[in-house]
Amino acid sequence: MRVVVMSGVYGSRNGLILFWIVFLLASLTMVCPAEGLNAEGMYLLELKKNLKDEFNNLENWNPDDETPCSWKGVNCTSGYDPVVQTLDLGFMNLSGTLSSSIGGLVCLTVLDLSHNRFTGNVPKEIGNCSKLQSLQLHDNEFFGRFPDELYNLSHLEDLNLFNNMISGSISEEFGRLSSLVSFVAYTNNLTGPLPRSLGKLKQLITFRVGQNSLSGSLPAEIGDCESLQVLGLAQNNLGGNIPKEVGTLGRLEQLVLWDNQLSGYIPKELGNCTKLELFALYQNHLVGEIPAEIGELIFLKRLYLYRNGFNGTIPKVIANLSSAIEIDFSENHLTGEIPTEFSQLKNLKLLYLFQNQLKGVIPQELTRLSNLERLDLSINYLFGSIPFAFQNLTGLVQLQLFQNFLSGSIPKGLGNYSRLWVVDLSSNYLTGRIPPYICRNSSLFWLNLGSNNLHGDIPTGVIKCDSLVQLRLDGNWLQGNFPSDLCKLSNLSALELGQNLFHGLIPPEIGNCRMLQRLDLSGNYFTHELPQEIGNLESLVTFNVSSNFLTGQVPPSILKCKALQRLDLSRNGFIGVIPDEIGKLAQLERLLVSDNKFSGRMPAALGRLSRLTELQMGGNSYSGEIPSELGNLTGLQIAMNLSNNNLSGTIPPELGNLILLESLYLNNNHLTGEIPITFGHLTSLMSCNFSYNNLTGPLPNIQLFQNMDVSSFIGNKGLCGGLLGGCDESPPFNSDPLVKSAGASRGKIVTVVAAVVVGVFLVLVMVVLYLMMCHPVQTVVSVKDKDASFPATDIYFPPEVEFTFHDLVEATNNFHDSCVVGRGGVGTVYKAVMRSGKKIAVKKLASNREGNNIEKSFRAEISTLGKIRHRNIVKLYGFCYHQGSNLLLYEYMDKGSLGELLHGASCSLDWPQLFKIALGAAEGLAYLHHDCKPQIIHRDIKSNNILLDEKLEAHVGDFGLAKVVDMPQTKSMSAIAGSYGYIAPEYAYTMKVTEKCDIYSYGVVLLELLTGRTPVQPLDQGGDLVTRVRHYIRDNSLTPGVLDIRLDLTDETTVSHMLTVMKIALVCTCMSPAERPSMREVVLMLKESDEQEGNFILS
């Protein structure tokens, strides 16, 4: 029995096993179909097809696999039926477009494609991934609009799009992303306003959309984002006020709104954001006082309010910011004294208060800030001494107190206990000696103690400071020999020792300063010859040894300094000749060799210095003729001074090509002949002197010569015209009868010849008129006729302009010189009075182009300029191509240029009129900078380019032309980067023109309006108007003595307002571009000054 039973059990078990085997096989067949890879794998392979995988990161994406779950970057759910849950392809150096097949991964919760080079649009099919929680597309090259379909992702928590090129606006549908916790999309091309639906996102913690082009105002609804901790909207175009509702964000830790167009006041409600750690509102248009409620932000670590229009005093409640590490209130209009309460901020490392209107002494209490690393109180009205205890701050690396009224000595132990990097105490009234330990810890790379009253030697600790890059000690009473050991400093690039009491030789060791770019030894007592080793300084850009007692010949080795831009050897005792090789210094912009003992002929090779803007060779013993090659220096702007030499012969007519030249001095030579008629082209000329030569004949017919003082022409017995008297007057002492008889006979001959010539001319005129009636001229036609000789692509008039090209030619007498009203670096301007009485200014631009086809780039640029409409911009009507020149048609300005009115024989403008002109010009320039897309940089702002209509309304002219005009016969960048006296200082080193260059130039125009002086000043008064004014203020403070005496300075309101505008001009002409305001800020400051000082703007 037992055997039978066991056998039955065995047989039953075999059957059961067989059954399960069959069942499992069937199940496996159902789960793993014969076709292989599942659908999600197929979607991923489709995605891979569009990608370039340089490093084979996706090599194991095998189509023979049954699922993609083992593939690199792919993670699936667990279980018998896994689905793709995470796709992480970040940092794989993939490129190409993202396939729409991505939308097939409907169970995806995380998609990370960051840090690759994906391009194209973001596929809308991602919206099908309804379970998506994290979408990382940042650091790619996606472009196009953000798809609306993605706003369906209601589970999305983390959306990162930053560092792409995504455009378009953020839709109001954004509020549907109800689970969103973090949205980061900075550095894209997003535009339009922020959606008000933003307030619906109750879970939102981080919202960062900086560095886009968002506009409009900050929506009040943002106050409903109750979880928000980080709000970053920097570097956009957001305007309007900061809504007080931001103050309801009790969890906010970072408020970053810098570099927008925000205006108004800081809402006091922001004091409720008590968890704020970072508060950055700099570079906006905010005004008013810093609210006392800021003292409630006790956790604040970094507070940046610089580059706004804040005024009033710094609130004493600043003491409550016990967590503060960095505070920057610079570049505002803050007044009063520096609060001693700063000393209570024990964690403070950075304090910047520069470029305000702070006064009083530097509080001794600041020396208690034991963690202080950076302190900048420059450009204020601080006086008194520098607190000696600053020398005990062990962490101090930056101390900048320049351009104040500080006196006393520099703390002797400064640098003894700290690793100083930057020390700038220049432009004060400091006395005593240079601290001996200032570079004790070998970290100092910038030391500027210039323009003080320091004395003694340069201490050994400075001379052997290996880390020094720039050493500026000019304008003191320092003495001793040239410190040769300075040339052992391998990093030294700037050495300025000018205007001191140094003496002795300039040693051969100077040749070891191989990194030097700027070397200024002017105004000292150096003697003997320049060493040959000066030629080793191949990086030298500026070399100034003027006003010393140097003798001998200039070493030929100096011609090895190919990078030289400014060479000043003036006021020494150099002898010999300047070799022809001088023409190889192709970068040279200013050559000053006046008041030496140079002799021989002037080298014709000077004409090859195409970048030259100033040539000073007066006060030497040059002989022979003036080289005609000097007429090739078409970039010459500042001056050509050849006076007080022994030059002879005639004045070359080629000098008439120097149409940018502002000063010309040829006096005290032995020149003969007439002043060339070509000098009629020198319309930029502001001053000249031809006195004490042997010149004859009439003065050229230009306004300057007709009104110039007689002293500029005396000593030339044969000159006539203008104030010298008419050229047709009989000689006062002519009693010789033979002379009279000869004169009478000559008169008869002239009369007969003239009659014959007139007769022939009348016959020719009649013949031409007959031919014209029989054969009408076909080359001058109406634009509407579109004659083949003037293709439509080369002529453009807007439909509203009611005249033809034929009318234009007729109105200018075929562009005859009699219709010329001005010449400049860009071209010649003609006045055209149309038959309707309408006046047009026609600017004729000489061109190097062959044929009559305008380049597409030129046409596109001019078309853009033609669309600009602003009350303070000269209207461009149109353009065309005619006889090898491009013609631009502008509205005509009856009152001419501001420069002509300011610097003419008499100026009748009063301050209200001048201020109205200044404000109008600022508004026009602000429009070009901020409201034109793309931005237009003027590049040549000057008083002659500010034109005035019959109501004295300012109109900015010649805007944008320097960028698009093909300049004739010039390789000089100076010719297209502005006019001397107006050019921003950084241009000499960067050769780049930015909007900050325009702002500097505008500041110079303001100084012209305020002082009545021209932008170019005598060298002994600074050489330019900005320097002259700054020197005056330094010596006399900001007093009415700097203002134009032609104006009514008896009215206290007028004077007060003018001095306020003077401060704005000084801010605009700051040496550092970063410290200059934007043009919108300038307009705002001008308007505020008007409101505060008495409403000078004429209605």
Active-site positions read 940
Q: How many angstroms separate the CA atoms of 304 and 710, rounded?
A: 59
If you ran DSSP here, which 8-state letter would residue 1078 be given?
P
Tokens representing 334? Answer: 């803050």
Q: How many angstroms separate the CA atoms of 307 and 354, rounded?
A: 10
Q: How many angstroms separate the CA atoms of 121 and 882, rounded?
A: 46
Main-chain phi, psi angles of 222, to 5 degrees: -60, -20
The radius of gyration computed from the CA coordinates of the chain, to the nearest angstrom, equals 38
Q: What angle do CA 709, 710, 712 make, to 5 degrees?
A: 80
Main-chain phi, psi angles of 50, to 5 degrees: -85, 0
Q: How many angstroms separate the CA atoms of 675 and 698, rounded?
A: 8
Tokens representing 808? Answer: 């234009």
Give every CB contact of residue 732 below 8 A, 6+ residues apart in sequence.
Answer: none
Closest CA to 1027 of 1075, 985, 1090: 985
Q: Which H helix or E strand runs over 998?
A: helix 995-1011
Phi-psi region for residue 767, left (φ > 0), alpha (ψ -120 to 50) or beta? alpha
Closest CA to 311 of 293, 335, 283, 338: 335
Main-chain phi, psi angles of 650, to 5 degrees: -90, 160
Q: How many angstroms separate the CA atoms of 354 and 382, rounded?
A: 11
Q: How many angstroms separate the CA atoms of 1027 and 812, rounded?
A: 43
How do strand 134-136 and strand 795-796 relate by DSSP bridges?
Answer: unpaired
Main-chain phi, psi angles of 927, to 5 degrees: -65, -45
Q: How many angstroms separate the CA atoms of 675 and 690, rounded?
A: 9
- Give CB contacts under 8 A, 24+ apart, made by 167-170: 167/143, 167/191, 168/144, 168/192, 169/193, 170/146, 170/194, 170/195, 170/209, 170/214
Q: How many angstroms separate the CA atoms of 103 and 1073, rounded?
A: 50
Closest CA to 1087 of 954, 922, 865, 907: 922
Q: How many angstroms separate the CA atoms of 1057 and 36, rounded?
A: 85
- Give percent helix, percent strand, percent coil of the chain, each to the nearest 5: 30, 20, 45
Q: How many angstroms separate the CA atoms of 445 and 465, rounded?
A: 8
Is the Cβ–Cβ distance between 299 and 322 less than 8 Å? no
Q: How many angstroms separate the CA atoms of 1008 and 1014, rounded?
A: 6
Give every CB contact of residue 238 below 8 A, 6+ residues apart in sequence.
Answer: 194, 214, 215, 216, 217, 218, 257, 260, 261, 262
- Count of alpha carbons within 13 angstroms of residue 1090, beta-carbon side: 19
Q: How many angstroms separate the CA atoms of 206 and 1038, rounded?
A: 48
